[in-house]
Amino acid sequence: MSDLKRYSLIEDHMKREFLLLQGRGCVWKKCAFCDYYKDVSDDPFSVNKDVIDRIEGKFGVVDVINSGSIFEMDDMSMSYLRDKLVQKNVKTLWCESHWLYRDRLDEIRKYFDGINVKFRIGVETFDEDMRRRWNKGIPGEVTAEDIGKYFDGACLLVCVEGQTKDMILEDIDTAYRNFEYFSVNVFMENSCQLKRDEDLVRWFADEIAPELEKYSNIEVLINNTDLGVG
């Protein structure tokens, strides 16, 4: 995946520098909709160094994703990232983590001591049945309130076959009530078997997305490269 764009400067909504780094591989790797875990190599630092070097510190906020969890980054990339954040006087770091790491988040906070670390989770949906069908690895009994105790932000996935308008609207409302920031991502078909619902896509793009765009703490991704990486 050497052709991926890995750096973006986001100047609306939540202003930040956005980095797509390469990890050692997602340990979960079971989500029914995801093939991002293929973005791995034997030497991720050789990919990540040039991306990290692009950090300017312009907004004081850096957002790092790595097709998995921050815990799955290699040591050299983590150390280089930490040094660069300090050098550029970055105050806030956003990163992602799977639910299974929820009790280890303080390890990352301590590693980036002096920087305000915020965690985002790819919850995708709060619907118990759909989350089970998508094999998210978050038990059905876990509520949005439970997740919000650990994570500051969330990612939602919408317009997948099997979802309904009411389900999507309920997920958005739930995320709004429980997280300081969240993104709503329209599903893009990939090598997985899951299919998207084109009727839902048209409805969402025409009626829902324009309203969500009015909120500074909500990002809408009609395409998965809308934030400039991928």
Closest CA to 159 of 129, 224, 204, 126: 204
Q: What percent of the chain has pLDDT over 70?
A: 94
| Res 109 pLDDT > 60 | yes
| Res 226 pLDDT > 80 | no
Mean pLDDT of 72-76: 96
Distance CA 99, CA 120 (A): 10
Please give the pLDDT value at position 16.
97
Who has greater pLDDT, 226 or 115?
115
**Strand residue runs (E) in the chain:** 7-10, 16-20, 61-65, 92-96, 116-124, 153-158, 181-186, 218-221
7-221 — its CATH code?
3.20.20.70
Distance CA 88, CA 214 (A): 31
| Res 1 pLDDT > 60 | no
> Two tokens at 76?
């050299």
| Res 88 pLDDT > 90 | yes
Mean pLDDT of 86-94: 98
Distance CA 13, CA 212 (A): 11
Please give the pLDDT value at position 37.
65
Give the burial string for 39-60 (b: 16+ CB within 10 Å, else e): bbbeebbebbeebbeebebebb
Please give the pLDDT value at position 153.
98
**Averaged pLDDT score across all residues of the chain:** 92
pTM: 0.92
Please give the pLDDT value at position 72.
94
Mind spelling out the 3-state secondary structure of 69-93?
Answer: CHHHCCHHHHHHHHHHHHHCCCCEE
Distance CA 62, CA 6 (A): 13
SS3 114: coil
Calculate the CA dihedral of residues 209, 145, 91, 25 and round it to 10 degrees: -80
Distance CA 227, CA 25 (A): 22
